[in-house]
Amino acid sequence: MSDSIIQVSPNYELHYKETNNGTKTVIKKRKSHKEYDEHDEEGEDFNDANVAVNICEDRIMGWFFEPAQILIDFDKIALNKEYDVAAVHLITPLIEVLEVYKEGQKPSNARTIPGSELPRSGDGSGQFFQKSAKKIFTRSLSQLRSNTERDFAIKILYGGCRCGFAHQGYLQLIPVPDEETKPKIVIARGKPGELSLTYKQEEYGSKEVCTLTIYAKPYIEQIKKEFKQFFKDTRSSQPKLNKFHRVWKEDWEMKRGIVPPVSRSM
């Protein structure tokens, strides 16, 4: 007998098992999992909300934060090789993902499936991202002079970093209503804070240059910390678990039509 299998995270597989009562879907730990033992052969119910949290956490930590940490630390392996930009690129989209799971609803411009009952927010993905970023980077933002500056910093992060990487493959300039201000973004290392916003008059010209600096290592560590707290809180609160799970289920319904099972003998 063979199972049809999809690897859904670094350490978990989804098995479609043919039984006398039809097809059964179970989640199993991969044999490479450090906690694997023979009892795991029975598997767990794929539709269980707590199982979904385990898979999501394993996926976020194993396929995103672990590679990002390797990129950050690469200069320890190869002299004069730094991949902080790639690490920031990898992790930045997760800022919006975190807010979607917390809210239990999708942005107004997100894709949906026919007949979906998942709540839709009146806000678009940009608002979701910025709302989440303000919560994640509270410490850094508190160092800025005003709410106007805090809002401006997050707008630069969204428009210049998140959208720049998504649409141009790199950081981009963003249009600002104040023509006297020229915003730019720098990815750097070597400071305990995650973000900073500084102003400096152009050496030649009348415009004021506004620079948002992303300090790659603490930036990524802070986002990771927020995710760890989210998973902990979700496991201990049924309302939070319900919000997470309804988004998770819709995402799976959208994906399973385009991710075919890989059959192999068991």
Q: Note the pLDDT of residue 204.
A: 57
User: Is residue 202 within 8 Å of 182, Cβ to Cβ?
Assistant: yes
pLDDT digits (tens, 9 = 90+) for 208-261: 778 999 999 999 999 999 999 999 999 999 999 999 999 998 888 766 554 444
Phi-psi region of 122 (alpha: psi -120 to 50; beta: other; left: phi over 0): alpha
The predicted pLDDT at position 93 comes to 96
Give the pLDDT of residue 265: 36
**CA-wise closest residue to 224 among 44, 97, 81:** 97
Report the side by side order of strands in the sheet with 22-29. Answer: 44-45, 22-29, 12-19, 2-9, 262-265
Nearest to 220 by CA among 65, 57, 82, 101: 65
22: left (phi over 0), alpha (psi -120 to 50) or beta: left
Regions in the chain scoring below 70 on pLDDT: 1-3, 31-41, 78-79, 111-120, 122, 176-181, 201-207, 254-266
Query: In the prediction, which pLDDT does 106 show?
Result: 86
Spatial separation of the C-alpha atoms in residues 75 and 64, rounded to whole Å:
19
Which residues are CB-neighbours of 56 under 8 A, at least 6 positions away?
9, 101, 231, 244, 248
Strands 181-188, 208-215: pairing is parallel
